Structure formats: C-alpha cells, structure tokens
Amino acid sequence: MTDIVDTATRSRMMAGIQGKNTRPELLLRSYLHRAGFRFRLHKKGLPGKPDLVLARYRTVIFVHGCYWHRHPRCRLAYQPKTRVDFWKKKFAENVERDRHQLAELINVGWRVIVVWECGLRSVQKGEKSLDWLIDELRSSLPDEGILIEWPVIGSEGS
C-alpha cells in the first residue's frame, strides 16, 4: 500500500512528533509542581535522559507513550499495517533500549517510575488519580533501585 501523502509531507509530519514536553509529560509535571515537588528535566548525565529527575528522592520518572514504547496489551500500542517488518524492528529496538536504560538506573540505586500515556489519559478524564505517585515519592527511600510502572501492564488494554 502506498502512502497517501508525498515524501516531503510525511517527513514534515514525522519531524513534528515530539520527544520532550509532550502533553502527557506536561500534565504530570504540572501535577507534581502543584503538589510541591521540584525536579530537573531530561538530565543528560543519566541513562535514557529521564523526563523528570527528583534528586532529593533519588527518583526518576519516565513518561512513556504507549505506541512508541509498546505498552503490553494496551489498545494504544497497535501495530501499523504497512511496512510491518520495519515497525517490528523499530519497536523491538525501542523496548530493548528502554529495558537496558531502566536496568542501568536501578543498578546504581535510582527508584524508577514509568508512567504510561494511557494512565495519564485516564487522569485527564477524571477516571483515575495520581495520588498514588505523591504517596510513593514521600514514602521512605529504597535501599536499592526499584521499578514501578503505572498503570499496571495491560490494565488499559481491554
């Protein structure tokens, strides 16, 4: 199947996909800031340049898009119907890179929180709350690294 737009238009459209300051990320940042938390953005010295770094709490937060980071069993992580081999390879590389970066952070003692796009959509609709995140951040610090994902894998995929 051929593309419905020319190459230049497709290139411009793909270039417009943001990696930073996305709507879900801005929503989470606003929530945390209102709750009194201060953080650094996209810290280059850490593996994966986490979206939010709360050094005081030795915690990093990644806001993952379900499509690009392949949230398992999520309806937003659909498979494109064209160039299937290309997209499978691309998504597999993304997932492997994420896994490696999260493991590096955990190994050096960071608490890693992954907040999925679908969970933040539910927050925007008023169906869910981010209060659990405030509780988690204020809880005692772990002695060693830990990974927390929200929402739980597959909870939005039905």
pLDDT in tens, 39-61: 999 999 999 999 999 998 999 99
CATH code: domain 21-150 is 3.40.960.10
Q: State whether the Cα torsion 88-115-120-153 is positive or negative.
A: positive
Cβ 51 vs Cβ 25: under 8 Å: yes
Give the residue carrying structure tokens 């869910």.
128
Cβ 89 vs Cβ 97: under 8 Å: no
Strand bridging mode 40-41 / 146-150: unpaired
- Residues facing residue 149 across a β-bridge: 114
Domain boundaries, the chain: 21-150
Tokens of 29: 């940042």
Residue type, 8: A
Cβ 149 vs Cβ 133: under 8 Å: no
Q: Across residues 85-108, what is the average pLDDT?
A: 95
Give, in degrees to the nearest 5, the angle at Cα 72 between 124 and 94: 95
- Percent of the chain at pLDDT > 70 equals 90
C-alpha to C-alpha distance for 137 and 134, rounded to whole angstroms: 5
The H-or-E segment that residue 60 falls in is strand 59-64
Tokens of 50: 């986490």
The confidence score (pLDDT) of residue 156 equals 46
Each residue of 101-154: pLDDT tens digit?
999 999 999 999 999 999 998 888 888 888 888 888 888 666 667 788 888 654
Strand bridging mode 52-54 / 146-150: unpaired
